[in-house]
Structure 1
Amino acid sequence: MIVQCEQCQKQFKLNPENIKRPSVKVRCSNCQNVFSVSRPEPAGVVETALTSPEVKSPPPTRPTSSRRLLILLIPLLVIAGGLALWLYVPWPVSTKTVPQTTGIEQLHLVKSRGFFIDNKQAGQLFVIQGRVRNDFPVPRRWIHLRAKLYTTDGQTARQLDFYAGTMLSDQQLQSVPLAELLGLIQRPPIKQDRVQTIAAREEVTFTVPFGDLPELTELSDYSVEILASQPA
């Protein structure tokens, strides 16, 4: 199959058998842009329905008198048993409970992108940046995320847990040691000496850098999932 870079429009030949997932990330050898390539859909299969020969059912038989009596007694016995339970069995008073929540039901990933950048000390990094929107009617804080890199066979190559709210600039990604970058994103963000909160309908950014990468030909995709959050 032929794929085309979204940025420089250069075309490349790619073997579709190397695409193990529905969508993989590839890097343009011309401009280094990272973009998605979808696996081609296989040809559809036409299903044919088989008709089974009609089977004649035997004629219905009339129930005997004792069977008719039993049919009439069953509803009466059920009603009598239910009435006895209602009158003589003590029923507990129900109390309304609030369902437990992990705090992610109304948090949504708005957008994310992945790109490579060179760090002076750690070498090449793969960076994921994006935003999370708080669709709760009240403010939230401590939005905890997990990012993963996948190999071409669908295995997890790298994994990092971190907090949204800390946006790292390109200058920081290039000059600050990787351990310090991870320290900034793996603790709850602080804004003006206070825990950062995200108001209702507000979006918050995130950045997560991956170092010590495997061979680039072994990487195919990444994912970001929301793990938890707390009420502000």
Structure 2
Amino acid sequence: MIVECPNCKSSFNLDDALVPPGGRKVRCSVCENIFTATPPAGPPTGELPELDELADGFGQDFGADDDDLLASLGEAALDRDDQDLPGVAEAPEAKAAPSASRSAGSAPKLDLNLDTVPKAGKAAKAGRGRGRRVVIAVAAIVLLLGAGLGAVWQFAPQYLGLAPEAKSGSGGTEPVADPTEQVRKISLEGIKQYYVENDKTGRLFVIQGKAVNLFETPRELIAVEASLFDAQNQTLATRRLLCGNTLDLFQLQVLAREEIDAALENEAGIGANNISLQTGQSVPFMIVFFTPPEGLAEFNVRVVDAKEVAP
């Protein structure tokens, strides 16, 4: 008998003796589907209808004048006895399983022992087990990488190219202001430089000028930075100081180095002139280099800080 798997439509040639009248559960060796194989239906019972019954089927009686027609019908009935009845013919060999062209050793077979797991099923389960292990390993690696990045983010954000955050007074966090934005409207004016011979330390290189607040709101604690360069534009020295402090020529000539530094590093400036600088107001600055380096060719001064006045 020919049995077809209802799942993958594979066909199998199964011995009729192995299938009882009530059917038998079998497993498809192609897709492992379990289904019930039933024996084929038997040939129909009953006798062929008589010629008169055939005539009745056509809704007419046959008389003596129709002997030739009756004879032909009788011959057709006899021929019908020699032929297979409809529904009794066996499935043609052409309707074999798609794998019927395989060799006998590789043709699929139905598994009648449902207590054992097919080898293909074991291999599939083993493959699924390996797949789960690979997924678990990849997930563990991703978690470790995420934990590492989180630790770097928390304790060393500079390695990720992230700007640090400044703590606000209320306990929250707020981003550090852009230094360029903080000083973009502080203008430097009246800048000049000159040398002074000091009695105690030798030659001094002095840069002075004033910083003007062009912001629409007050600024304070403005700081400037001066750099010295040689002819190849190489930096020779750099110094940064708060504005608001200056010395006259006599002081520059007679004061010791420690005294000059102390006078120029007063944070609030002389008379607190570097505090709450209103729009349009200016504050003076002075930067002194002791024993200026040889090869000095030019210098540069820029504003590096200007804080907003707290409301």
Contact 2:274–2:283 (CA<8 Å) still a contact in 1? no
Provide the C-alpha distance between the structure 2 equivalents of 1:166 and 1:134, rounded to a whole number of angstroms.
Answer: 17
1:127 corresponds in structure 2 to 206
When Rg is computed on C-alpha atoms for both structures, the one with the higher figure is: 2
1:207 corresponds in structure 2 to 286
For residue 135 of structure 1, report the CA deviation from its aligned partner: 0.3
Q: Which structure shows the higher strand fraction?
A: 1
Question: Of 221, 228, 231, which residue of structure 1 is paired with 2:305?
Answer: 228
- 1:144-195: CA deviation from partner (whole Å, max 9, x where unpaired): 1111111122111111110111121111111111222123323412454796
Q: Which structure shows the higher helix fraction?
A: 2
Contact 1:161–1:186 (CA<8 Å) still a contact in 2? no
The share of aligned pairs that are identical, in percent, is 23
Provide the C-alpha distance between the structure 2 equivalents of 1:145 and 1:170, rounded to a whole number of angstroms.
Answer: 21
**Compared with structure 1, are the counterparts of its residues 164 and 190 closer, same or farther at alpha carbon in structure 2 (3 Å cutoff)?**
closer
With a CA cutoff of 8 Å and minimum separation of 6, indicate the structure with the bigger relative contact order.
1
**Compared with structure 1, are the counterparts of its residues 191 and 131 closer, same or farther at alpha carbon in structure 2 (3 Å cutoff)?**
closer
**Unmatched 5+ residue regions in structure 2?**
1-173
Q: What does 1:150-189 align with in structure 2 at a 5 Å threshold?
A: 150-189=229-268
Contact 1:162–1:187 (CA<8 Å) still a contact in 2? no
Partner SS state of residue 183, structure 1: helix
**Unmatched 5+ residue regions in structure 1?**
1-96
1:219 corresponds in structure 2 to 296
Provide the C-alpha distance between the structure 1 equivalents of 2:196 and 2:270, rounded to a whole number of angstroms.
Answer: 27
1:100 corresponds in structure 2 to 177
For residue 142 of structure 1, report the CA deviation from its aligned partner: 0.6
**Compared with structure 1, are the counterparts of its residues 152 and 135 closer, same or farther at alpha carbon in structure 2 (3 Å cutoff)?**
same
TM-score if structure 2 supplies the norm length? 0.40
Contact 2:198–2:254 (CA<8 Å) still a contact in 1? yes
Provide the C-alpha distance between the structure 2 equivalents of 1:180 and 1:189, rounded to a whole number of angstroms.
Answer: 17
Give the letter for the 2:177 counterpart: Q
Contact 2:244–2:274 (CA<8 Å) still a contact in 1? no
Give the letter for the 1:231 counterpart: E
Contact 2:217–2:278 (CA<8 Å) still a contact in 1? yes
